[in-house]
Structure 1
Amino acid sequence: MEITPPDIEAEGRARGTAARPLSIWTVSDGRAGIQNQALGLAEAVARLTPAHIAIQTVKWRPAFDRWPSSLKTPAMLAPGSLDPRTVVEWPDLWIAAGRASLPLSTRVRDWSGGRTFVVQTQDPRWRNDGYDLIVAPAHDGLSGDNVFEIIGSPHRITPQKLAEAAPTFADRIAALPRPHVVAMIGGRSKAFDLTEAHAADLADRIRTAVQAAGGSLLLTFSRRTPAAAQAVMAARLSDLPGWIWDGTGDNPLFAMLDAADHVLVTEDSANMATEAAATGKPVHVLPMVPLKSAGKFARLHADLEAHGAARPFDGDLTAWTYEPLNETERAARAVLEAMGTR
């Protein structure tokens, strides 16, 4: 879907947002990697026009969680979830991410009497005509009149957010020797695995590179990192200058990315790669153990390489520069453009 840059002020006048901010709901199952896609896009919209954002969570009772989306009803929602039966006023803009949101996203236009503009991120893979706009990763190859493609996924990374996070963790990071090498380690997925042996090999390669550069390591693991892989990497890297975050306390990722001179990301996560590329710092892609063809990830990494952001990790920490990837804002402009023309 091609768009032209929106006239934000004109759209605001048309919606009356000069008097009333845009009402935005972000809807997901609450997992950080999913929620941040919807929230990041909502925050980008709010940077372009006055808006109020409300975070909504949708979870299904265990007995119904794996049921097809077409069979789910609000009566099957888990306690604490957004319940459409109790909604008094629907938002102007609904931005949802993840499978759990689909049974609601496809019905919001009817429930709201056509008031609510419905945006779904990722490839819904179900009733793709049921949303006003789908913000889809280009590497998924989705097409349609209501599809807007971006490189990777929407996220919350901005220079301002990184800078705001830095002071909180300055005592742990500021004095570390440069270059600061941030490593974002994923884990097992449908396409990749991180075995104990492969984790040990990655740790050795990272260690060699950081030592050769005379720098320090700032490392975070994802919730998908297997415990054995996490343990072996921590053991092999713990004597380097730096910080291996153990998951306790406030998440230091934004502060780490603000301080980074290089960012290493495992190839299993589109979110991590896209977030890293938004920093403008050199992004090095770490290999994982393939479980099946990972063509879509290869397409994503090719897109990031073409942008100048990413390269396969070869142990060389020579820096390079590129324009930070800003696909979330581009998607936000597409949302406002589509809302203005509906």
Structure 2
Amino acid sequence: MHIVYVSDGKAGHRSQALGLYQAMCRQSAAEVTFEEISVEQLSVFSVLLALLKRNTGVVAKPPDYLFGVGSHTQLRVLLLGKIYPNAETVIMMKPNFPLTWFNCAVIPEHDGVEASAHVISTKGALNPIVDEQRHQKNRVLIALGGSSKRHQWNADKVLTAIKEIVRLNPQAEMILTTSRRTPKEFLATLKAQNFVSHIRIFPVEQTPQGWIFEQMQQAEAVWVTEDSVSMVYEALTAGCRVGVILIDRLKQDRITQSIDALLQQQTVSASSDLNQLPSIHNFQEADRVAQKLCTRSLSFGN
């Protein structure tokens, strides 16, 4: 089985494609190969010419699946699907084109598209994480984000939340990390607090690639500021109990509503007490999607 991934170069999009590819490796009895081709290698003009020849000259071998994530990949996936008609076209987003033009669209449920013959609805975006069953009891990771187009960083709220997490969980080993969006002055303020002696701090600039995913494999619980939606789903996929640190919202939209839904469903909690966090969920969205694709089933309900 050969997968061709049309890449726009964005790390978050590539993470989704890799997550599905790796899940298909786990689900398929056959060998699964993966080929990444950038949109720069597939100009629309060159792909149109290739359509006449039925060969791009870029793809190493005829694909069984064509993956795309991102608006710039959609048309290229569709055109490649014409060149390789035996390939299943899989777009991992709500597309700008009619859904029926793709064999399958993998769409987070917060986008409001119902599951159907052409749609697999998922809880959050896919990612390459699996639960490796290495979680250590009373080990806690606190992951901080920052301001975004829908959230405003509130230093007082975050500081109070961290203080409460420390106070209510005196038995826990605490590890905290930041993101590139975390205000630099906040870290200085945090380090000046009396309770900081209970926390080991690892600024994002000092952590190697993959560090946070390894921490999720070791942590029993992860607290994440609500602006970091993808990290909430990554922690759930890693098999952690998840707490959400609430900050100020600039607007309500489908993303903030997805966090509200997780809170209402008690998949995550706004509590600062580890004992009050929801139990671990069997959160394996990439494997669920891969199983549907590998069995060539187009009945994409839950």
* TM-score interval (norm. to shorter): 0.7 to 0.9
Is the Cα contact below 8 Å between 1:182 and 1:257 reproduced in 2? yes
Which residue matches 2:105?
134
Tell whether 2:282 aligns with 1:324: yes
Tell whether 2:158 aligns with 1:202: yes
Secondary structure of 1:24's counterpart equals strand
Which residue matches 1:246?
204
| In 1, Cα distance between equivalents of 2:282 and 2:69 | 24
Cα drift, residue 257 of structure 1: 0.7
* Cα 1:96–1:187 shift into 2, 3 Å: farther
Q: Structure 2 counterpart of 1:105, which letter?
A: V
Q: How does 1:3-82 map to 2 (within 5 A)?
A: 22-49=1-28, 50-59=30-39, 73=44
Cα drift, residue 75 of structure 1: 5.8
| In 1, Cα distance between equivalents of 2:298 and 2:253 | 37
Is the Cα contact below 8 Å between 1:181 and 1:261 reproduced in 2? yes
| In 1, Cα distance between equivalents of 2:214 and 2:199 | 17
The one of 172, 176, 191 aligned to 1:219: 176
The one of 140, 149, 153 aligned to 1:190: 149
| In 2, Cα distance between equivalents of 1:261 and 1:246 | 21
Which residue matches 2:51?
none
| In 2, Cα distance between equivalents of 1:339 and 1:25 | 20
Is the Cα contact below 8 Å between 1:279 and 1:324 reproduced in 2? no
Is the Cα contact below 8 Å between 1:29 and 1:58 reproduced in 2? yes
Which residue matches 2:62?
90
Is the Cα contact below 8 Å between 1:41 and 1:154 reproduced in 2? yes
Tell whether 2:94 aligns with 1:123: yes
| In 2, Cα distance between equivalents of 1:48 and 1:111 | 27
Paired positions, count: 282
* Cα 1:305–1:57 shift into 2, 3 Å: farther
User: Following TM superposition, where does structure 1 have runs of at least 4 consecutive aligned residues deviating by more than 4 angstroms?
Assistant: none
Which residue matches 1:293?
252
Cα drift, residue 60 of structure 1: 5.2
Deviations 1:219-259 (A, max 9, x none): 33344x15xx2441364056443232433433311221122
Q: TM-score, with normalisation over the residues of structure 2?
A: 0.80
Secondary structure of 2:210's counterpart equals coil
Which residue matches 2:186?
232
Is the Cα contact below 8 Å between 2:71 and 2:96 reproduced in 1? no
| In 2, Cα distance between equivalents of 1:36 and 1:48 | 18
Deviations 1:79-123 (A, max 9, x none): xxxx955235232112222223223112121121x0211111121
Is the Cα contact below 8 Å between 1:186 and 1:222 reproduced in 2? yes
* Cα 1:206–1:140 shift into 2, 3 Å: same
Q: TM-score, with normalisation over the residues of structure 1?
A: 0.71
25-34 vs 230-239, greater mean Cα deviation: 230-239
* Cα 1:233–1:324 shift into 2, 3 Å: farther
| In 2, Cα distance between equivalents of 1:55 and 1:190 | 34
Percentage of identical aligned residues: 23
In structure 2, runs of 5+ residues without a counterpart are 48-54
Secondary structure of 1:299's counterpart equals helix
Q: Structure 1 counterpart of 2:284, which letter?
A: N
* Cα 1:90–1:266 shift into 2, 3 Å: farther
* Cα 1:289–1:86 shift into 2, 3 Å: same
Q: Structure 2 counterpart of 1:203, which letter?
A: L
* Cα 1:87–1:255 shift into 2, 3 Å: closer
| In 2, Cα distance between equivalents of 1:255 and 1:213 | 22
CA-atom RMSD in angstroms? 3.1
